[in-house]
């Protein structure tokens, strides 16, 4: 693939990142008028980011091993799961809370929300999915009908271990178990992982001589190669109890 093709994929991804940021900024205002539209705008724009990331992977995978790193691999796993959608996994927190009469059906339940730490003062959005859903895609011992069947078993095993060790899934579920949170009530914010993946890929692309030519690409190039850093070893926890 020529670098020009890769640079067009960079532009598409950067454009999708801006659109998601706008949807996130508009969410609180729009939800007061039309909650369903606000949730759909946010979720669909995030899914478009995932698709754009996968498009970049398609043209760049010969030069960069996206499955060697836990952050980039998880984002591709999430994209594939949402893209193919032959299961009931990966309903976002907002969509889940809004379904079937709203959050009051969870009255009295406590949820553990988990996020990796973005170093510095950068504002980080929340795009939350059940942490368990990632394991149900990868761990055959769970007997999930949603197991990622298209992935070779050795690749599933490798990614499962990456999630447990490099992204702290073992630590997350150890804390959840010790504090008596059911696994279905543990949600992971995937935005810091997405940020980490973008930082990793953009730095590699810059080192390989890629140009960030579009307006959005130029803005995000310096932001994700110089300003941002995610500490994937540091987890932050928050409890939400539905009253």
Specify the pLDDT at position 1.
52
Specify the pLDDT at position 186.
98
Mean per-residue pLDDT for 111-133?
91
Q: What does the alpha-carbon distance between residue 40 and residue 46 come to, in Å, rounded to a whole number?
A: 10
pTM of structure: 0.95
pLDDT band at 17 (very low <50, low <70, confident <90, very high): very high
- Residue 121, pLDDT > 80, answer no
The answer to whether the CB of 9 falls within 8 A of the CB of 59 is yes
- Residue 229, pLDDT > 60, answer yes
- Residue 205, pLDDT > 90, answer yes
Specify the pLDDT at position 36.
94
Rounded to the nearest integer, the mean pLDDT of the chain is 94
Specify the pLDDT at position 243.
85
Within 8 A by CB and 6+ apart from 72, the residues are: 57, 66, 197, 200, 201
Q: What does the alpha-carbon distance between residue 190 and residue 203 come to, in Å, rounded to a whole number?
A: 20
Nearest to 81 by CA among 132, 142, 13: 132
Q: How do the domains of the chain map onto residue ranges?
A: 3-241
Mean per-residue pLDDT for 77-83?
96
């Amino acid at each position: 693939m020529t670098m020009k093709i890769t640079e067009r994929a960079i532009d598409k991804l950067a454009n999708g990142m801006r659109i998601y940021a706008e949807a996130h900024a508009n969410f609180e205002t729009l939800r007061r008028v039309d909650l369903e539209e606000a949730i759909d705008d946010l979720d669909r724009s995030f899914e478009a980011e995932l698709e754009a990331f996968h498009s970049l992977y398609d043209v760049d995978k010969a030069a960069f091993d996206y499955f060697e790193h836990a952050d980039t691999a998880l984002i591709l796993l999430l994209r594939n799961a949402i893209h193919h959608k032959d299961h009931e996994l990966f309903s976002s927190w907002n969509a889940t809370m809004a379904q079937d009469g709203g959050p009051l059906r969870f009255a009295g339940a406590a949820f553990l929300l988990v996020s990796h730490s973005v170093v510095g003062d950068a504002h980080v959005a929340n795009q939350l999915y059940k942490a368990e859903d990632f394991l149900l895609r990868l761990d055959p011992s769970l007997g999930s009908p949603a197991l990622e069947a298209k992935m070779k078993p050795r690749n599933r095993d490798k990614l499962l271990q990456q999630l447990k060790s490099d992204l702290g899934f073992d630590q997350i579920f150890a804390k959840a178990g010790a504090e008596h949170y059911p696994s279905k009530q543990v949600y992971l914010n995937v935005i810091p992982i997405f940020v980490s993946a973008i930082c990793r890929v953009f730095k590699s692309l810059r080192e390989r001589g890629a140009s960030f030519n579009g307006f959005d690409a130029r803005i995000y190039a310096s932001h994700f190669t110089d300003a941002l850093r995610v500490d994937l070893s540091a987890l932050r926890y928050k409890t939400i109890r539905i009253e």
